[in-house]
Structure 1
Amino acid sequence: MEAYAETLKFGPMNTILLKSATLVNENQIYVSDVLIKAGRIDKIAPNIEYAGAMEINAEGLHLLPGMIDDQVHFREPGLTHKADIFSESMAAVAGGITSFMEMPNTVPNTLTQSLLTDKYNIAAEVSLANYSFYMGASNNNLEEVLKTDPKNVCGIKVFMGSSTGNMLVDNEQVLENIFREAPILVATHCEDEATIQRNLAEYKAQYGDALTIDMHPKIRSAEACYLSSALAVSLAKKFNTRLHILHISTAAEVSLFDNITPLKDKRITAEACVHHLWFDDRDYAEKGNWIKWNPAIKTEADKNGVLAGLLNDHIDVIATDHAPHTIAEKEQPYAAAPSGGPLVQHALPALLELYHQGKITLEKIVEKTAHNVATCFNVNERGFIREGYWADLVLVNLNDPFKVTRQNVLYKCGWSPFEGQTFRSEIVHTFISGKLAYSKGKFTTNETGMRLDFKR
């Protein structure tokens, strides 16, 4: 794949026939044809014939429901020197992500309904993937938060720990009010600020300005994560809030969650991110600030504990927390370098690599990246390969290796934490609402994605 590869205007393809694809869907793997008409999955059957359809030979390829990424930072408006909705949605589509939910810590912060509408208007013009945007909460905007429409907004984002931007909600009464009155799902970033500040003061007293990246998981510690997540869970239980805790990074936090079935009955759910499943603190020596995230990447035991939590269904979904910064920003000393990194182009290939390593099944990858996200957020008619549903699909070749380099990344920031990594699986085609949005390094740029809606 070449960076910013040639774009093609495929034109409207109202009918597409996928022949002999190996479907991975709802805990089954089987070979079938799939007919797509008017954006939706019209028929799934062993042998479909349809005159005039655009026919794609999918023999030997695996067909997955497109990944729904419930946590990205695409940086528009206000931070477009790092990324923008067009560039990052392009990278997402190339990575098999068909829908994204974007966070409110842009500039200005998305703290009013008017600013939220502005972001939807931008996406309607430029996003290659389907999209939704979180309404942001602060210490003083509850009235605006309560105006959020549950049917066309994915959720409310609450920073219970400081991160990129200035949206920390640390007023206890405000937190209680949000958890008591929120009309829809509340998604939280959980790190206890008092613990982080205490740890930081101790390290500064000992090392002064000579702080280094290996100290990051000790400053933003496992204790800080557990205390904040435990508080969020207790508030949700007190007020029966629909709570979704983002980017679980410690083995200890997994114990806070249940594996209640069916998933739709769960009031408290949790997310793991690709980087916390892939890296651990031994990687700081090589990767440095390129893997500086909040919450921090922690120990091998934490990485393995988060994966175990996914496999036993205490953790419900996998996302990216895609959060790009420029190369110059990341090359600063540890204390000055911002946290976050770009992931959407390589998240699914990384998960498929974990499959090749025998750590997770294809069925579980699909469950955690598509089925469960749709269920947790009540996404309407997406996330499954079902007749009548929107055709958000990705065809992957499990045996077509490629190496990640700065020359083939699509992110506007121009780098990837996976640089130098060879993945054994590659995305071949991505379909967004029935349209062929990506095909072997080329993109359809004259068609945009759709705004997600929710059955609430």
Structure 2
Amino acid sequence: MSTFLIKNAKIVNEGNIFEGDVLIENDIISQIAESISAKPNCTIVDAEGSFLMPGVIDDQVHFREPGLTHKGNIASESKAAIAGGITSFIEQPNTVPNAVTQELLEQKYEIASKTSYANYSFMMGGTNDNLEEVLKTNPKNVAGIKLFLGSSTGNMLVDNEEVLEKIFSSTKMLIAVHCEDEATIKANLAKYTEEYGEDIPVKYHHLIRSEEACYLSSSKAIELAKKTGARLHIFHVSTAKETELFTNKIPLEEKLITAEVCVHHLWFTNEDYDTKGSLIKWNPAVKTKADQEGLWKALLDDRIDVIATDHAPHTLEEKQNKYASCPSGAPLVQHSLVVMMEAYAKGKISVEKIVEKMCHNPAKLFKIENRGFIREGYFADLVIVNPHMPWNVMKENILYKCGWSPLEGTNFKSRISHTFVNGKLVYTNGKVKEVLAGKRLTFNRE
């Protein structure tokens, strides 16, 4: 039996910060109190001066296994995730082969059961022709259905409107969507290709994958969700204009349409293309300062519900290709929580709000069982963050298999000192312990 007693922590939970102790027995939080006496054979962790938070739940990652494991795999990327305070992840279906049958989906769960350092779930992928397979998805142990409404890996672009409406009206499961209008992007790309050929300067990326492309697609998806009553979650909102599509007038639990923002859209703007180049080429694109400000506003006033990463590693060699063949995406799971803590240090967001958007809300939104909160009887997925322990992102401390980060050279004020997954101490003092503590996430759904 493993027992840990975390003492003197600033516990951040459900809108409050209070000093206290937390007792972990086996994989469960067994007691939360102002002061708890140590039991025999109990490991004490003194968290004085640090925040104790629920483990972060990242609702959108690409860990590249199977089929793209030269970029990353479940073991390497989940290891980086726990170093970043992420204790649970939801991974996307555009691996190779795409997870578009129940058999292929279960193969990913099988890999994770043997290799994941963090808790895991995988999205079932929808295509123009796999509705039957989509409808077999078990809502109790699969996070949701993922649809790409903009170009993506393999055969995953869903552009048949009849099929789309059928999926929306046939499942009660959460449908998560990547929204970018394909026709708009193609027209914009043709214009810049005519001028520059394959070597389009990356600073035009946000004009190719434009505000219009995002808004057209998001508004269409929302219209369809309202028509069919579907449970819709829009991934990586990237424009101020799109934020107008969402409401803060009702509690999250009652929302049928929810939204996520990614840390890179809160951290970078198109002005950073000059120094970062293709390292910050994402889909949807990093956009303007005005868009960034709009996203922050919507995040703080609760039109945007969740902060995630869209972690998507590529090799440095791939990222150095000319624009037309340079893949979009970058690794972020090791650094997302400290990015948000940096915003806290600058007075942009409270720690309570960070925990709400990165821990509580993903658990509520996906109906994850017994995670995302510091509550007695819940799984002990916990993170200790020291807000006064500066460090610098360098090649030597990057854990991603691809070996780089768009945040290299950044100084952060806060550091993750401890991460617990299911009551096991899996990360401490800059080192990941070789403990595969991750479990398959389950969901409290009919």
TM-score by length of 1: 0.96
Query: Which residue of 1 is the match for residue 198 of structure 2?
Result: 209
Specify which of 422, 440, 455 is matched with residue 429 of structure 2. Answer: 440
Find the aligned partners of 2:87 and 2:196 in 1 and give their Cα distance: 45
For structure 2, which runs of at least 5 residues remain unmatched after alignment?
none
Report if aligned partners of 1:260, 1:266 keep a CA contact under 8 Å in 2: no
Contact map agreement 1:98 1:431 (CA 8 A) in 2: yes
- Out of 49, 54, 62, the residue aligned to residue 60 of structure 1 is 49
Q: Greater shift after overlay, 290-299 or 14-23? A: 14-23
How many correspondences in the alignment? 444
Partner deviation per Cα, 1:92-145 (whole Å, 9 max, x = no partner): 000000000000000000000000100000000010000000000001000000
Give the 3-state SS of the residue equivalent to 1:50 in structure 2. coil
- Which letter maps to 2:222? V
Partner of 2:408: 419
- Distance of 2:165 and 2:278 partners within structure 1: 35
In structure 2, relative to structure 1, the CA distance for the partners of 1:43 and 1:224 (3 Å cut) is: same
| Residue 115 (str. 1) matches residue 104 (str. 2) | yes
Residue of structure 1 in register with 2:391 after alignment: 402
Which residue in 2 is equivalent to 1:31?
Answer: 19
Counterpart CA distance in 1 for 2:174 and 2:416 is 31
Q: CA deviation at 1:219?
A: 0.5
Partner residue of 1:102 out of 77, 88, 91? 91
In structure 1, what is the Cα distance between the partners aligned to 2:198 and 2:162? 36
Structure 2 residue 376 is matched with structure 1 residue 387: yes
Q: Distance in 2 between matches of 1:386 and 1:16?
A: 15
State the Cα distance separating 1:335 from its structure 2 match: 1.6
- Tell me whether 1:252 sits opposite 2:241 in the alignment: yes
Residue 334 (structure 1) aligned with residue 319 (structure 2):
no
Q: Secondary structure at the match of 2:349?
A: coil
8 Å Cα contact 2:127/2:155 also seen in 1: no
CA distance in 1 between counterparts of 2:336 and 2:344 reads 13
The letter of the residue matching 1:183 is K
1:147 aligns with 2:136: yes
Residue 211 of structure 1, CA deviation: 1.0
Task: Output aligned runs, 1:354-373, within 5 Å.
Answer: 354-373=343-362
Cα distance in structure 2, aligned partners of 1:210 and 1:103: 29
**Structure 1 residue 421: deviation in Å?**
0.3
Task: Please list, as runs of the form range in 1=range in 2, the aligned pairs for 1:293-372 lying within 5 A after superposition.
Answer: 293-372=282-361
TM-score (norm 2): 0.98
C-alpha separation between the residues in 2 aligned to 1:77 and 1:105?
10
Match of 1:282 among 243, 256, 271: 271
For structure 1, which segment, 275-284 or 255-264, has the greater mean C-alpha deviation from structure 2 after superposition?
A: 255-264
Q: Which residue does the alignment assign to 1:3?
A: none
Name the residue aligned to 1:18. Answer: 6
Matched position secondary structure for 1:244: strand
1:187 match: secondary structure: strand
Q: Quick one: distance in 2 between partners of 1:351 and 1:182?
A: 34
Query: How far apart are 1:209 and its partner, in Å?
Result: 3.2
What RMSD, in angstroms, separates the aligned Cα atoms of the two structures?
0.9
Which amino acid in the other structure matches residue 262 of structure 2?
C
Partner AA of 1:415 in structure 2: W
Paired with 2:78 and 2:286, the residues of 1 have a C-alpha distance of 25
Q: Is the 8 A contact 1:213 1:288 kept in 2?
A: yes
- Listed one character per residue, the Cα deviations across residues 162-201 of structure 1 (whole Å, up to 9, x for unaligned) are 1344411001111101111123100000000010011111
